[in-house]
Structures are given as structure tokens and as C-alpha cells.
């Protein structure tokens, strides 16, 4: 029996190339730092005894053994110092890293990937809107005061958010929803001024309401995204829904002749209600399936295309827009954009589009539309004839073609969900391990107690 076991073990080991693998693990307790480089070490001072420090990483060799690997220079040679750590020693080292970060560099572990984009947005909207809106709302007529206020608003739009976010996390999702909140907030402020002031509303009042609403919704967008730890894709989908809903609410007010009847309060209520419904739609779509930021951009491009194409058919039905006062056009845009957003959600299902891939699709849509418009304009110029329906038809066909072409090119490259989740849903996963202690006991020739179990190997699988 012992000979058979020995033979089986030899054959088994001959067919297996066993080697130990080490995997990198975080060096801090928060799990945000995978290594300590030269710049970070200069701030933390964790290895003062190594003057030529280059990098430090921690590797895990098994469940309870870790290796602290420090790389440094010795003259012209690159050297490594490897120190074995137990689990308790690893915790102590990570705590030392955390204490150094808290004392010397608190910003290191903050996720501020969205901070630069947010500051660009706050500066742009301050220069492009807040400065002018404030001077008009305040009815300033002195040139010096107007210019000074405009410059002050633009500068504040950068420095105030910069100081407020200096020691706070600003993830990509936080910056995205905050920016969307500022843009939509301006429209919501205008709608609120209609709802409150009614027929007494004025341009100055509308602008006066829009600025604080924009700022408040920008702050709220940041707090919601950060507080609920929304993904970038979900934040973008909520923003997509809000924009769509605001447009649909405005369109419903137009179809109901509320503008002509002078019912400003009803118009404002529909704008705000439509936007709220759009937020719910975007949130529901984001809860139904995971979205990347690229996915959300593709959905936005599809909704935009869906709102543009119906204009061609509306122009064919009512070319002069006199009989229905443009209601066919507005209704077509509303239905097309809503359908486009829903269709976009299906087109990205099971895909993970990157921002670059989504940008290519959007640019393909825009370039295709311009190509169709340019060709139709040249042909119409040569024949001496041309009308809006011709231009809209050619532009719509080009936009659809450009979108379809780039989508079909980018879609196979988009990383699918099964790739992202590993092989949890497909494939056969197994793990086989040989017990050195079991083999040593077997080959030692010593008798094994009757009730003692000494495993030679273990095997596990899942699918």
C-alpha cells in the first residue's frame, strides 16, 4: 500500500509545476496606496535610514506571510531589501503609514480625480454666466462697477471652490453631478421665478433666481454623489434624465399653449416637475444595470439623435409649421429624445464603453450630420433649389449613419460585464494544492496514528 501511495505521489508531482506566487497588497490600512514612491517617502519619512530610497511595496505570499520589499540605489546598482512580516507586523506597518499620512500629508489618500474638472466648470460658468447674470439682475449701469463685479465673480468661481475642496474628496462622480447641478440649477431657478412671480416675472428676477439655484444645486450634486458614493456612470445618467425631463416639461407647456395664455406659474411647475421625473427615470435606468461614464455618454448621444431625427418627418408633415404652430415638431422632438434615451440604455447593456469610445461615437454622429448637411447644401446650390426638409433629411441620415458606423466599430472593443466581473459567471475555476507536511510524513516511514488525518493534497472547484 505504501509503495502504491509513493508511486501515485511521484506521478502526481511529476505532472505539476508548483511555484509560489506573490501578489501586491496595499501599503496603507485604507487600501488606497499600492506603493510608496520617492515623492511620497519625502513627505512621510518612513525609511529615514535609506537615503537613496526609490520604492516600497508589500507582497503577500500566503494567508499569513507578507514581504516588505524596499528598492533603493547603492551607487549605480539597483538594490532590494526584502523583510518578512507577519499579519500583526503588517498591521503595525500600515498603522505607521496611516499615522504619517495624518500628520504630514492628509491629501494623499483623498480621491480628487474630479477636482480639476470641477474647478474648470465652476470657473467657466462664473465667467460665462454668473458674472453677467449678477450685473443684469442687480441692474448695474456704471461701467466700472459692471466690469469689476464680473471679474470678481469669475475669480470667486475658481478660488472659493478651490479652497472648499482642498482637503475633501472630489471623485469623478462628485465633480460630474456638481457640474450638472450648476447647469440645471440655472434652468430650475428660471422655472422657480416663473412659479413664484407669475406674470410679474421679469428678466432681472429670472436671472436673480437662477444664480443662487445654480450654486445650491451644484453643492447639492456634490453632496449627493459623495454621500451616496454614486458611480460616475450613475451620476451622469441622473444628469441625463434631469436634462431630458426639463426639456419634456418645457415642451408639454408649449403643447398646452401655456406660453400663449400667459400662465407662467404652470410653465414653471411643468419645467420643475418634468426635471424631477427625469431624475427619477435616470436613477431607475442606472439601478437597472451598471453604467460607466462612457455608457452614459452613449445614452446621451442616442437621446440627442432621437430628438433630432423626428424634425425631418415633422417638416414633411407640416413644412410651414403654421397650421399647428410647430406642435408636431416639438412633440416629435420630445418623443424621439425620450425613446432615444431608452434605446441608448439597451444599446449599452452588457457593455462598458470608455470615455474615449463614447466620444468617438458622439463625434461620428456630429460629423455624419454635418457631412449630410454639407452634401445636400452643395447639391441644392448647384440645382438652384433647396428646402428645410431636404437639409434635415440629409443631415438626419448622415447623423444616423455616423452614429451607427462608430457604434459598430466601438462596440466590439467595449469591455463586457463578464470580463469586468472575471470568470464568476462563466468558466470552470479550480484550485489544487499539495501539502508539504503530508508528503514529509509519508516519506519519513513513521507510523501514523489510527485516528490522525494527514492530508496529502487538496482540491476545490466552482463554476
Question: In the prediction, which pLDDT does 94 show?
Answer: 87
Q: What is the pTM of this model?
A: 0.73
Place of cell 416629435: 332
Alpha-carbon span 394 to 388, nearest angstrom: 10
CA atoms in the 13 A half-sphere facing the CB of 172: 10
Burial-class residue 84 by CB neighbours within 10 Å (0-12, 13-18, 19+): exposed
What are the cell numbers at 324? 399647428
Distances in Å between the alpha carbon of 398 and those of 63, 255, 339, 365?
Answer: 59, 29, 19, 8
Question: In the prediction, which pLDDT does 46 show?
Answer: 85
String of DSSP letters for 362-409: HHHHHHHHHHHHHHHHHHHHHHT---HHHHHHHHHHHHHHHHHHHHHH
Question: In the prediction, which pLDDT does 48 show?
Answer: 87
- Does an H or E element contain 336, and which? helix 327-347
Alpha-carbon span 56 to 73, nearest angstrom: 13
Domain locations in the chain as residue ranges: 20-104, 112-277, 289-422, 429-462
Question: In the prediction, which pLDDT does 452 show?
Answer: 52
Which residues of the chain fall short of a pLDDT of 50?
4-5, 8, 10-19, 418-432, 434, 439, 443, 451, 459, 461-463
Amino acid at each position: 500500500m505504501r509503495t502504491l501511495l509513493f508511486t501515485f505521489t511521484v506521478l502526481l508531482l511529476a505532472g505539476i509545476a508548483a511555484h509560489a506566487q506573490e501578489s501586491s497588497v496595499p501599503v496603507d490600512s485604507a487600501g488606497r496606496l499600492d506603493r510608496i514612491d520617492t515623492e511620497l517617502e519625502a513627505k512621510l519619512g518612513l525609511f529615514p535610514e535609506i537615503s537613496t530610497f526609490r520604492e516600497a511595496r508589500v507582497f503577500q505570499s500566503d494567508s499569513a506571510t507578507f514581504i516588505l520589499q524596499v528598492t533603493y540605489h547603492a551607487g549605480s546598482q539597483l538594490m532590494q531589501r526584502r523583510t518578512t512580516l507577519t499579519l500583526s507586523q503588517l498591521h503595525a506597518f500600515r498603522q505607521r503609514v496611516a499615522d504619517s499620512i495624518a500628520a504630514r500629508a492628509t491629501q494623499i489618500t483623498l480621491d480628487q480625480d474630479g477636482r480639476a474638472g470641477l474647478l474648470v466648470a465652476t470657473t467657466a460658468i462664473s465667467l460665462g454666466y454668473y458674472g453677467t447674470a449678477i450685473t443684469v439682475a442687480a441692474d448695474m449701469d456704471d461701467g466700472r462697477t459692471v466690469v469689476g463685479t464680473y471679474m470678481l465673480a469669475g475669480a470667486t468661481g475658481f478660488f472659493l471652490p478651490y479652497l472648499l475642496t482642498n482637503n475633501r474628496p472630489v471623485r469623478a462622480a462628485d465633480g460630474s453631478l456638481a457640474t450638472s447641478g450648476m447647469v440645471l440649477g440655472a434652468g430650475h431657478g428660471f422655472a422657480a421665478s416663473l412659479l413664484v412671480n407669475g406674470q410679474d416675472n421679469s428678466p432681472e428676477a429670472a436671472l436673480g433666481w437662477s444664480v443662487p439655484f445654480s450654486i445650491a444645486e451644484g453643492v447639492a450634486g456634490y453632496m449627493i454623489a459623495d454621500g451616496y458614493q454614486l458611480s460616475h456612470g450613475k451620476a451622469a445618467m441622473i444628469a441625463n434624465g434631469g436634462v431630458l425631463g426639463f426639456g419634456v416639461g418645457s415642451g408639454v407647456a408649449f403643447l398646452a399653449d401655456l406660453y400663449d395664455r400667459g400662465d407662467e406659474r404652470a410653465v414653471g411647475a411643468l419645467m420643475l416637475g418634468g426635471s424631477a421625473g427625469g431624475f427619477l427615470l435616470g436613477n431607475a435606468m442606472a439601478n437597472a444595470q451598471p453604467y460607466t461614464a462612457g455608457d452614459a455618454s452613449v445614452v446621451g448621444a442616442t437621446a440627442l439623435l432621437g430628438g433630432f431625427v423626428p424634425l425631418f418627418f415633422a417638416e414633411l408633415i407640416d413644412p410651414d409649421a403654421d397650421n399647428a404652430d410647430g406642435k408636431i415638431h416639438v412633440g416629435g422632438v420630445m418623443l424621439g429624445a425620450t425613446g432615444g434615451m431608452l434605446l441608448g440604455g439597451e444599446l449599452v447593456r452588457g457593455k462598458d464603453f470608455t470615455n474615449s469610445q463614447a466620444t468617438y461615437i458622439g463625434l461620428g454622429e456630429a460629423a455624419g450630420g454635418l457631412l449630410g448637411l454639407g452634401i445636400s447644401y452643395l447639391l441644392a446650390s448647384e440645382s438652384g433649389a433647396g428646402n428645410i426638409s431636404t437639409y434635415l433629411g440629409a443631415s438626419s441620415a448622415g447623423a444616423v449613419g455616423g452614429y451607427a458606423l462608430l457604434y459598430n466599430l466601438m462596440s466590439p472593443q467595449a469591455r463586457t460585464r463578464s470580463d469586468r466581473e472575471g470568470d464568476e459567471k462563466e468558466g470552470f475555476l479550480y484550485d489544487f494544492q499539495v501539502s508539504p507536511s503530508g508528503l514529509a510524513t509519508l516519506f519519513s516511514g513513521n507510523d501514523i496514528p489510527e485516528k490522525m488525518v494527514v492530508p496529502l493534497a487538496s482540491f476545490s472547484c466552482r463554476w
